[in-house]
Amino acid sequence: DALNHIFRGQGQFPIVQNMTVTEGGIANLTCRVEHNDNTSLQWSNPAQQTLFFGDKKALRDNRIELVRATSQELTINISEVTLADEGMYTCSLFTMPVKTAKAFLTVLGMPKKPEINGLTKPVLEGDQITLTCVTSGSKPAADVRWFKNEKEIKGAKEVNTSGKTFTVKSSLQLLVNRHDDGVAYTCRVDHVALIATHEETTQVLEVHYAPYVEIKHSIPAPLEGQYLKLECVPHGNPSPDPVLWTKDGGELPDLDRVIVEGRELTFMSLNKTDNGTYRCEATNHLGTSHAEYKLVVKDAPTTSSPSTTSPAPTLPDTTGPLDSKHLNSAVTGNRDPNALPGPPDHALIGGIVAVVVFATLCLIIVLGRYLARHKGTYLTNEAKGADDAPDADTAIINADGNHAHAEEKKEYFI
């Protein structure tokens, strides 16, 4: 039996596991053996101080408690763990010889909530500022990130050691303008001890800047008798309020018809006396700005009677030749027979007169040539036969005979 006890004792080894716990948490240390003949188990701390020997507490520390003590297991808890508790813990099995197993307890340093420094409120447009985010107490070193309205931006990171923990700092340099007004800058800390969460701090910039002004109008092209509203829209921080309206460098006319209400200038019924340059001016403690609107009131459109003239005829859209029906329709243009005649076409009248004058000249020329030729023929025929006649009676007879033959030689002019 003694030999069997020694053999079994030599085959027994305690079994332990490394542990990781967050600072302030609870560390559970368990030591087990498969076979044990009532041999005692013992837990010792990194300083080799005995914590528990079997079920007997050896170190006076209220944070250390016994969970289970049997011949095959010794489990203890260390609550409110600090960074000083980190180290190598030993489980011993008092056989011959003594068997030991070592478990390393890792304590994570929880990073503190980050702080953003370097921001004063308000900031003036054009100022250059440096925002610094600092978190301390992390182990291992935490990761620090910057976000501008939830969009990540890069900062300059710096890590310093303080004992067993780390202090991490990240900086942003900003040249502030009016577009930074209301922008949220967030410093976020990520760490292995922050399971499924993170620590963060947010600062919202308040930027003061001089005003700038714009004028909005209710209608694009004002006409006489219309309603018009001009709205002065100042942008600035602090908000420039109230605003000042002027016309052509002086006061507004006829305040019964032109109404000023807050930032709005209203014309109930426009007329041409309203023409001019209207100016809106806004001021805050950083400066003054203005905008101008030039009002030009145009005549209201007059109501005209329907036109009595017919539209120009349009040829039908056809790819084939025009027949008489299409041609007549195109020329008449479906003219209303009861419509009054339109104004005379002077070009058409001039063309007709020119044609008549030309035809008259041609007719005169043709008649002149015709008369001249017939006159020559008469004198010539009358003289024929008279030259050889012995007396006057014979000459007349001969001339008559020639006339008879001349009838057959008449020329006709068409």
At 232-266, the pLDDT tens digits run 999 999 998 889 999 998 888 776 778 888 899 99
Question: How would you class 405 by CB atoms within 10 Å of its CB: exposed for 0-12, middle for 13-18, buried for 19 or more?
Answer: exposed
Let me know whether 36 and 100 are in one domain.
yes
User: What is the C-alpha separation between 274 and 38, in angstroms, rounded?
Assistant: 111
Task: Please report whether residue 402 resides in a domain.
Answer: no
- In terms of DSSP bridges, do strands 258-261 and 244-247 run parallel, antiparallel, or are they unpaired? unpaired
Which of 160, 180, 205 terminates a domain? The answer is 205
Computed over every residue of the chain, the mean pLDDT equals 81
Let me know whether 168 and 221 are in one domain.
no
Task: Please report whether residue 305 resides in a domain.
Answer: no
For the entire predicted model, the pTM comes to 0.60
Let me know whether 168 and 92 are in one domain.
no
Residue 236, pLDDT score: 92
Query: Does residue 354 surpass a pLDDT of 60?
Result: yes
Let me know whether 96 and 30 are in one domain.
yes
Q: How far is CA 310 from CA 305, 326, 330, 331, 349, in A?
A: 14, 18, 13, 12, 20
**CATH, residue 150:** 2.60.40.10
DSSP notation for 150-161? TEEE--EEEEEE
Let me know whether 158 and 188 are in one domain.
yes
Let me know whether 142 and 103 are in one domain.
no
Let me know whether 182 and 149 are in one domain.
yes
Let me know whether 214 and 276 are in one domain.
yes
User: What is the C-alpha separation between 137 and 292, in angstroms, rounded?
Assistant: 60
Q: pLDDT band for 348, please (50, 70, 90 cuts).
A: confident
**Residue 216: how many CB atoms within 10 A of its CB?**
13
User: What is the C-alpha separation between 49 and 380, in angstroms, rounded?
Assistant: 174
Mean pLDDT of 126-141: 95
Residue 403, pLDDT score: 43
Let me know whether 196 and 136 are in one domain.
yes
| Spacing of C-alpha 337 from chain mean position | 60
**Which amino acid does the sequence have at 179?**
H
- Least Cα distance to 23 among 146, 105, 104 occurs for 105
Let me know whether 94 and 144 are in one domain.
no
Query: Does residue 158 surpass a pLDDT of 90?
Result: yes
Mean pLDDT of 54-65: 93
Q: What's the pLDDT tens digit per position in 194-223?
A: 887 889 999 999 999 999 999 999 999 999
Task: Please report whether residue 243 resides in a domain.
Answer: yes
Task: Please report whether residue 271 resides in a domain.
Answer: yes
Mean pLDDT of 219-233: 92
Task: Extract the tokens encoding 247.
Answer: 């016309």
User: What is the C-alpha separation between 333 and 321, in angstroms, rounded?
Assistant: 18
Residue 133, pLDDT score: 97
Q: Tally the domains of the chain.
A: 3
Q: Look up the domain containing 227 and give its range.
A: 210-295
Let me know whether 101 and 86 are in one domain.
yes
Let me know whether 186 and 238 are in one domain.
no
Task: Please report whether residue 261 resides in a domain.
Answer: yes
Mean pLDDT of 296-307: 74
Q: What's the pLDDT tens digit per position in 13-30?
A: 899 999 999 999 999 999
| Spacing of C-alpha 232 from chain mean position | 24
Residue 266, pLDDT score: 92
Q: pLDDT band for 313, please (50, 70, 90 cuts).
A: very low
Task: Please report whether residue 95 resides in a domain.
Answer: yes
User: What is the C-alpha separation between 189 and 313, in angstroms, rounded?
Assistant: 83
Coil vs helix vs strand at 383: helix
Q: What's the pLDDT tens digit per position in 61-104?
A: 999 999 999 989 999 999 999 999 999 999 999 888 899 999 99
Task: Please report whether residue 358 resides in a domain.
Answer: no
Helix (H) or strand (E) holding 76: strand 73-78
**Distance between first and last Cα of the chain:** 168
- Least Cα distance to 176 among 209, 214, 137, 141 occurs for 209
Find the length of the chain.
Answer: 414
